[in-house]
Amino acid sequence: MALDVRHQELVKQGDKLFADKAPLNSLLQETADHFYPERAHFTQSVMLGREFAAHLTTSYPLICRRDLGNAFSSMLRPKGKQWFSIRSAYTEDDDASKQWLQYAAKVQRAAMYDRASLFTRATKEGDHDFAAFGQTVLSVELNRARDALLYRCWHLRDVAWAENAEGKIGCVHRNWEPTLKQLHGTFGDKGLAGPMVNELRLNPFRTVRVRHVVLESSDYAEPTGGKKWRTPYVSIYIDVENGHLIEEKGIHGRYYVIPRWQTVSGSQYAFSPATVAALPDARLIQAMTLTLLQAGEKAADPPMVAQQAVIRSDINLASGGVTWVDREYDERFGKALSPIEFDRTGLQFGLQMQADTRAMIREAFYLDKLSLPPSDQSKPYTATEATYRVSEYIRQALPLFEPMEEDYNGQLCDETFSLLMRNGAFGPANDVPERLRGANVQFHFESPLLKAEGAERGSIFANGAELLKVAAEADPGVIDTVDAPIALRGALEGIGYPAAWLRTPDAMAQRAQAREAKQAIAETIAGIGQAGMAAEAAGKGAQALGLMEQAKAA
């Protein structure tokens, strides 16, 4: 289908976004050259077989980026655990809703880690983009067979976006260069412009320039004579090279998930605080390492000075090598061949500077913040110290984990949940508890930060129990100050107790009533028994008195 005015305008808008993004691509190229050379294709073309890090003298900045990128998945999305849960503000006292949400979380996790979904591959690529560039572009959709999810990570070079009036990403433009075979496999015959149909047989691996645009339907005009868009977003694929509309349809989800680490006002693009802080040190350590290598070579293989009229052959400094000298030369006038002396005291100073620079790069990548602060081994480990260390860990780790939990994992899980819900992955809609229908759900993540917060709640409960124990010795009435069941429930939830393991308040009240009724019955039976014994004793006493009276009368 030929492009109309709407589609031509979309292409122009995308070209403008990519043109404005060109200076950022230069910065990202410089960042990638130092920290992520495998991804350094922002202003350079991909060359298969190129040695990525040939221009570097030390790999330390790359290792720090690698360690931070790997830490994101190992600490925030541990594969062997249910690292997220689904909650709703309207279900705090509704166990049926809680159990359905726990069931939905397990179904969603199974769908995400299905081998066909490529979730691990996409998020691994995204984690390293996030660490190096402060943002990444992921897509969430169903695969062609519509029997599994499909996650993909796209190169930041190929994507540009703009924010809406609320500061959220409103439209996304992505340049895509599929082969004719890929284009036909995705869209069928409608994906190919007229001349391309025959070329598919002759040259199936020829690439085509395609533009994919996802934008809010309120910002996109309806087709002439067509119906209004009934979906929040519209997806448009355009063959820019041939002026051919491939596909235009309304979609319910955003399709693209674009987490952003550190944003600044006035720009829709984010930055990595790790590489922004470490880039000057990365440049420094490369130059410093080169200088130290050159100095080390001179120390191990020093330059030589020779008496020109005395040396009769090439100077051979190899092991076992021989350099021929004029036999008539008298070395009392000086050595025929001697090393040039130079001051080596600067080597140690240079190594110390290099160690300091490495420490700065490591700190810039938060690698010193990924574990609890060390404790004082010379002192006993108290609950107060544990609370302090956890609080300090939360304070230091918050800048690292908070954007990942809210903007990265949160967006990814929200988009996945909506997609699965629309396609019936959680079973019939009637099985959803009534209080959850139409309710807003939120994802909570199993992360070191959440664990630390849960541990802090447990420590608060333990410290409170110790204080109550001490106070109760002076005044037993202070026990009533705390609602023990509520406090215990909060502490257990903080350390991760499943909802199925906890009784509801109603069930606890019923058990309390049953226990009180059972205790009342036992007291009644005991009272009856005591009354019977008293009556029996009274009867025996009366009988004894009667016998005494008879004896007196006789």
Condensed to tens digits (0 to 9), the pLDDT of residues 272-294 reads 999 999 999 999 999 999 988 88
DSSP per residue, 256-297? EE--BSEE-TT-S-EE-HHHHHHHHHHHHHHHHHHHHHHHHH
| 174 beta partners | 159, 212
Segment 285-318, tens digit of pLDDT = 999 999 888 888 777 777 766 666 576 577 666 6
Nearest CA to 63 among 55, 53, 73, 54? 53
Q: Which residue has the higher pLDDT, 289 or 226?
A: 289
Report which of residues 40 and 450 the model is more confident about.
40
Percent of the chain with pLDDT over 90: 44
Looking at per-residue pLDDT, the higher value among 20 and 345 belongs to 20
Rounded Cα distance, 187 and 194, in Å:
14
pLDDT higher at 347 or 154: 154
Confidence of residue 50 (pLDDT cuts 50, 70, 90): confident
Q: Which residues pair with 235 in a beta bridge?
A: 214, 249
CA 253/CA 142 separation, integer angstroms: 12
Can you give the pLDDT at residue 554? 54
State the average pLDDT over residues 129-135.
96
How many C-alpha atoms does 379 have within 13 Å on its Cβ side? 9
State the pLDDT at residue 498. 57
Q: Mind listing the pLDDT tens digit for each residue in 507-545?
A: 667 777 777 778 877 777 777 766 656 556 555 555 655
Residue 333 pLDDT: 66
pLDDT for the residue 288: 92
* pLDDT tens column, 244-276: 999 999 999 999 999 999 999 999 999 999 999
Confidence (pLDDT) at 75: 81
The pLDDT score that the predictor gives to residue 292 is: 87
DSSP H helices, 77-118, are 95-112
pLDDT grade for 52, boundaries at 50, 70 and 90? confident
The fraction of the chain above a pLDDT of 70, given in percent, is 74
Both structure tokens of 291 = 């200088």
> Average pLDDT in the 499-511 region?
65
Confidence of residue 506 (pLDDT cuts 50, 70, 90): low
- Is residue 136's pLDDT more than 90? yes
Alpha carbons 398 and 448: distance in angstroms, whole number: 10
By the 8 A CB rule, do 262 and 273 touch? yes
Q: Average pLDDT, stretch 316-344?
A: 68
Lowest mean pLDDT segment, chosen from 27-36, 37-46, 222-231 = 222-231
Report the alpha-carbon distance of residue 388 to residue 502 in Å, rounded. 29
Confidence of residue 340 (pLDDT cuts 50, 70, 90): low
The CA dihedral of 120, 121, 122, 127, to the nearest 10 degrees, is 80
Separation in Å, CA 65 to CA 69, 124, 360: 6, 13, 13
Residue predicted with more confidence, 191 or 401: 191
Q: Which of 500, 506, 406, 505 is nearest to 101 (CA)?
A: 500
* All structural domains of the chain with their residue ranges: 5-76+114-277, 518-548
Beta-bridge partners for 207: 179
pLDDT band of 41, cuts 50, 70, 90: very high
- Checking DSSP bridges between strand 84-88 and strand 244-251, what pairing results, if any? unpaired
For residues 177 and 196, what is the distance between their CA atoms, to the nearest angstrom?
14
Cα–Cα distance for residue pair 516/553, rounded to 1 Å: 55
Across the beta sheet with 159-163, the strand order is 159-163, 169-176, 210-216, 233-239, 244-251
Tokens found for residue 393:
């860990």
Q: What is the pLDDT of residue 550?
A: 60
Question: Residue 403: which residues within 8 A CB-CB, separation 6 or more?
Answer: 259, 260, 261, 262
Instruction: Tell the burial category of 215 from Cβ atoms under 10 Å away from its Cβ (0-12, 13-18, 19+).
Output: buried
Confidence category of residue 488, pLDDT binned at 50, 70, 90: low
How would you class 154 by CB atoms within 10 Å of its CB: exposed for 0-12, middle for 13-18, buried for 19 or more?
buried
Average pLDDT taken over every residue of the chain: 82
Q: Is the pLDDT of residue 455 over 60?
A: no
Gap between the Cα atoms of 122 and 119, Å rounded: 5
End-to-end CA distance of the chain: 134
pLDDT of the residue at 538: 55
Strands 337-339 and 304-306: antiparallel
49-53, 322-326, 401-405, 424-428: which is most confident: 424-428
CB contact at 8 A, 132 and 65: yes
Helix (H) or strand (E) holding 316: none
